[in-house]
Structure formats: C-alpha cells, structure tokens
C-alpha cells in the first residue's frame, strides 16, 4: 500500500482513512476521490483529490493509471436505510461501482479492499455469535448488494488472482464525519444530541442489539488487513469484525456515567427497526483474530469517554 486510491473519500470511513494514511505515508500517497468537491473540506484540501462518479469506469481507470496507484480502496456505496428508500439506485451504485472498481484492480493489478457489513446477514442467520460462514439471506437491498459484493470479490480473487480483501463492518461510531443513512446511525446521533440537548429520541427500539465499533478500530482494521500476510488469509473477503454489541439502554447508561442528566425516549422508525431486526445481535470475529490478529481497542465505556471528550471541543 504505497499509493492508494480511495473512492467515496468524503464519507464516514473515507475521511478518517485518508487522513490517517496521509499522516502515515505522506500526503501524496493517497488519491482521494468522491462524486463532489465541497469547498473548505480537509480531505479535499490536504492532498490529491479527483471528482469521480464510480459508475464511470473510464474515469476511474484513468485516475488510477495517471496516479500510478498500487491499491484501490473502494468505499463509495449507499448505506442500509437510504438503500431501502431507493433500491434500484442502490443496486446501480453499489454494484456498478464495485464491478468497475474490481475491473480497474484486475486491469492494473492493484491490491483491493471494499467493506461488506453486518447487513449481509438476514433473519434466517443465527442471531447470536453469528459464525463467519453461515446462512446469508438478507431481506434488504443493501444486504443483497453486500452479499453479491462479497461473492464478486471472492470471484475476482479465484478467477483473476486479484488481491481482494474485506471485512463485514458493524455500525461505526465516529466524531469527525456523520454517517449518512444507516440503521446504526442512532449510536452516533445520540452523542451529538446528548451534548447539544441533554436528550435523545431513539429511532431504534429498546432491546435491539447490534454490533458496533469505534472508528479508530475500524481504520486500524483496514490497514492491518491490507498489510496481513496473504498466506494466512483463508477467508480474504468479508471477515466478521466487531468490538462491542449493545442495545439503546446500554449506550444511554454509558453516556449517563459521563453526563448524569442525560435522558432518552423512543420514537421508533418502523423502516429502520425492521432492518435492525433482520440483523444479528452479535457476530463472531474469531476468524479475523486468527487469520490477521484483529484486536479492537475500544469497548463501549472507553468509546463513550472519548466520543464525548472529542465532541465537546467540536460542538
Ligand atoms: C448501516 O447501518 O447501514 C451501516 C452498516 C452496519 O453497514 N452502518
């Protein structure tokens, strides 16, 4: 990973990944791309940036060729809740974007990473300690694109020997860039509202467990997996990874330890609740631990302390 092109760099993962890789390897080591070029944006202004619609294969190939990248990290995709509102567009963006990115990786012999998600599981998947290899019959368009993506990445590896790698991310919690349109977003919103209003109205129902992870662990996982010894990788794509699993009452309690007056009520959104209900309670990350030493640093308490401290200085 000497010269990395990142698609969807203005999203929640991309903005932090680009910053970390540039800090580690130099500003010119990352070519950040996204469909728009906003003004006064750190990711855009801190190093090479190109406007790229990932459904445009020729432009993607040209940028990767011009900058002579050796790695492609493909992040551009719609998240679960918005994908469910626009399923045809979600298929078009998530799948055409991925096929184009895999083709560029094949053409230029690039290392390749793309994230899958806990959304690749469905109601018939075992809900607790969900195994790495198990039933995957998701009932959302997001999940359909994620399972298809996992299979495509495996295919490009076995058929064309592209060095594809990936993880199934849980809900990601961060303080720099807001997530856009996910089901797990409540676990980010809650921190902002706790500081702004001292109150949060949760769109996810009490008792709904979902896997989560703090962004520094997610960025660390991408970098670690991309640097992992290929000989050790049995699964390659779609490794289950998680750092914690909680339900809304538990994140509320963690925040109350820091902000005792914080209160939470519920106004459940049926659409996002249905998605959450189709996902696992808690997945098993033992293959990631065994094959590339995945080891998250933050639990709910440590994450909550850091989130609130960081957000206090930003809000
Ligand atoms: C979402 O909620 O859509 C994402 C995910 C778990 O993939 N955060």
210 CA: nearest ligand 1 atom? 6
Which residue's C-alpha comes closest to atom 4 of ligand 1? 182
Residue 68 alpha carbon to ligand 1 centre in Å: 32
User: Considering the chain, what percentage of its residues have pLDDT values greater than 90?
Assistant: 97
| pLDDT tens readout for residues 285-315 | 999 999 999 999 999 999 999 999 999 999 8
pLDDT of res. 78: 96
Vertex 29 angle, CA 240 and 313, to 5°: 70
pLDDT band at 179 (very low <50, low <70, confident <90, very high): confident
pLDDT at 209 over 90: yes
Of the pLDDT bands very low, low, confident and very high (cuts 50, 70, 90), residue 262 is very high
Provide the residue ranges of all domains of the chain, joining segments of one domain with +.
4-170+215-240, 171-212+243-282+298-312
Residue with the nearest Cα to atom 6 of ligand 1? 171
Q: Would you say the CB of residue 171 lies under 6 angstroms from ligand 1? A: yes
pLDDT for 18 beyond 90: yes
Q: Does the structure show a pLDDT above 90 at 212?
A: yes
pTM of the shown model: 0.97
The predicted pLDDT at position 315 comes to 84
Tell me, in angstroms, the distance from the centre of ligand 1 to residue 314's CA.
24
| Over residues 249-268, mean pLDDT | 98
Res 87: pLDDT = 98
pLDDT of residue 231: 95
| Helix axes of 248-258 and 186-196: crossing angle, nearest 10 degrees | 30
Q: Which atom of ligand 1 is nearest to the CA of 117?
A: 7
According to CATH, the topology of domain 171-212+243-282+298-312 is UDP-galactose 4-epimerase; domain 1 (3.90.25)
pLDDT at 180 (0 to 100): 84
Q: Answer yes or no: 57 catalytic.
A: no
- Does ligand 1 come within 6 angstroms of the Cβ of 174? no
**Whole-number percent of the chain with pLDDT over 70:** 100
* Lookup result for tokens 């969900």: 130
Second CATH level (architecture) for the domain 4-170+215-240: 3-Layer(aba) Sandwich (3.40)
According to the model, what pLDDT value does residue 95 have?
Answer: 98
pLDDT tens for 136-176 read 999 999 999 999 999 999 999 999 999 999 999 999 999 99
Question: Nearest residue CA, atom 7 of ligand 1?
Answer: 117
Region 231-245: what's the mean pLDDT?
Answer: 96
Q: Which of 67, 142, 160, 192 is catalytic?
A: 142
Look at residue 187 and tell me whether its pLDDT is greater than 90: yes
Residue 62's closest CA among 95, 27, 99, 31?
A: 31
Mean pLDDT of 234-241: 96
Tell me, what's the pLDDT at 137?
Answer: 98
> In angstroms, what is the span from residue 182 Cα to ligand 1's centroid?
5
Q: Does residue 182 have its Cβ closer than 6 Å to ligand 1?
A: yes
Question: Model confidence over 101-143: pLDDT tens digits?
Answer: 999 999 999 999 999 999 999 999 999 999 999 999 999 999 9
- CB of 141 within 6 A of ligand 1: the answer is no
């Amino acid at each position: 990973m000497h010269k990395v092109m990142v698609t969807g760099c203005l999203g929640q993962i991309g903005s932090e990944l680009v910053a970390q890789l540039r800090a580690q390897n130099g500003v010119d080591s990352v070519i950040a791309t996204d469909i728009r070029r906003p003004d006064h944006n750190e990711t855009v202004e801190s190093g090479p940036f190109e406007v790229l619609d990932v459904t445009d294969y020729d432009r993607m190939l040209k940028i990767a060729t011009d900058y002579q990248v050796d790695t492609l990290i493909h992040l551009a995709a719609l998240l679960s809740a918005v994908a469910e509102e626009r399923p045809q567009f979600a298929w078009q963006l998530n799948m055409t974007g991925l096929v184009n990115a895999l083709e560029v990786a094949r053409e230029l012999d690039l290392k390749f990473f793309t994230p899958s998600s806990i959304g690749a599981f469905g109601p018939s998947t075992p809900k607790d300690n969900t195994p790495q290899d198990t039933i995957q019959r998701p009932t959302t368009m997001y999940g359909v694109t994620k399972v298809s993506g996992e299979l495509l990445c495996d295919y490009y590896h076995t058929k064309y020997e592209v060095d594809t790698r990936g993880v199934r991310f849980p809900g990601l919690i961060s303080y720099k860039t807001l997530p856009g349109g996910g089901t797990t977003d409540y676990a980010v919103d809650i921190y902002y509202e706790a500081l702004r209003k001292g109150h949060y109205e949760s769109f996810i129902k009490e008792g709904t467990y979902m896997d989560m992870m703090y962004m520094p662990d997610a960025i660390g996982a991408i970098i670690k997996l991309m640097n992992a010894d290929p000989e050790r990788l049995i699964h390659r794509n779609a490794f289950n990874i998680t750092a914690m699993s909680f339900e809304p009452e538990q994140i509320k309690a963690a925040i109350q330890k820091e902000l005792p007056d914080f209160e939470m009520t519920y106004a459940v959104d049926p659409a996002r609740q249905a998605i959450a209900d189709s996902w696992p309670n808690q997945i098993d990350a033992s293959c990631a631990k065994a094959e590339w030493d995945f080891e998250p640093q933050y639990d709910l308490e440590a994450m909550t302390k850091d989130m609130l401290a960081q957000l206090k200085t930003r809000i």
